[in-house]
């Protein structure tokens, strides 16, 4: 299970170091794709397979095609180099606003990559009360 938060940078060529803690579970080759919250998702091959199977099981309609198009058209397989880096394709870097400082966040079955400033803005917009309300709505208690 992926968890934790790590900060790294991205270079001018679009390369970034994947945190050591995530490398083994991600594997040497994995999938990077668009995330709906303004970040990128990294999926190990097995988790990507499960996700795409769920997409295939959806009923054929306009909403399904829209969801499939958003995730699949931007999905790219990436491979770690000898330094533990990946090259994030330009279309994904631009879409997620990745410029210099990145934050990797473990999210159970995937890893999210955020532009640090974007993540900080989003976190400031979310308050503790909003979190409590969301937890209550989902039936989660501590």
Among positive and negative, which fits the CA dihedral 57, 61, 66, 69? positive
Task: Please give the structure tokens belonging to residue 115.
Answer: 């532009």
In DSSP terms, which residues pair with 40 in a beta bridge? 34, 113
Each residue's pLDDT tens digit, 50-81: 999 999 999 999 999 999 999 999 999 999 99
Render pLDDT for 88-141 as a digit per residue (tens, 0 to 9): 999 999 999 999 999 999 999 999 999 999 999 887 776 656 777 777 888 887
How many C-beta atoms lie closer than 10 Å to residue 113's C-beta? 25
**Under 8 Å CB-to-CB from 2, ≥6 apart: which residues?**
22, 25, 106, 107, 108, 109, 110, 111
Whether residue 85 contacts residue 18, with contact meaning beta carbons closer than 8 Å, is answered with: yes
What domains can you pick out in the chain, each with its CATH number?
Answer: 5-115 (3.40.1550.20)
């Amino acid at each position: 299970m992926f968890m934790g938060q790590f900060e790294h940078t991205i270079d001018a060529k679009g390369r970034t170091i994947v945190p050591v803690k995530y490398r083994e579970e991600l594997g040497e080759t994995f999938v990077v794709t668009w995330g709906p919250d303004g970040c990128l998702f990294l999926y190990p091959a097995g988790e990507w397979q499960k996700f795409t199977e769920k997409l295939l099981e959806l009923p054929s309609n306009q909403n399904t095609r829209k969801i499939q198009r958003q995730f699949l058209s931007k999905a790219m397989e990436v491979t770690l180099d000898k330094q533990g880096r990946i090259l994030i394709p330009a279309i994904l870097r631009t879409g997620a606003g990745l410029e210099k400082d990145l934050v990797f966040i473990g999210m159970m079955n995937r890893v999210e990559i955020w532009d640090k400033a974007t993540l900080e803005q989003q976190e400031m917009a979310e308050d503790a009360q909003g979190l409590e309300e969301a937890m209550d709505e989902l039936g989660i208690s501590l």
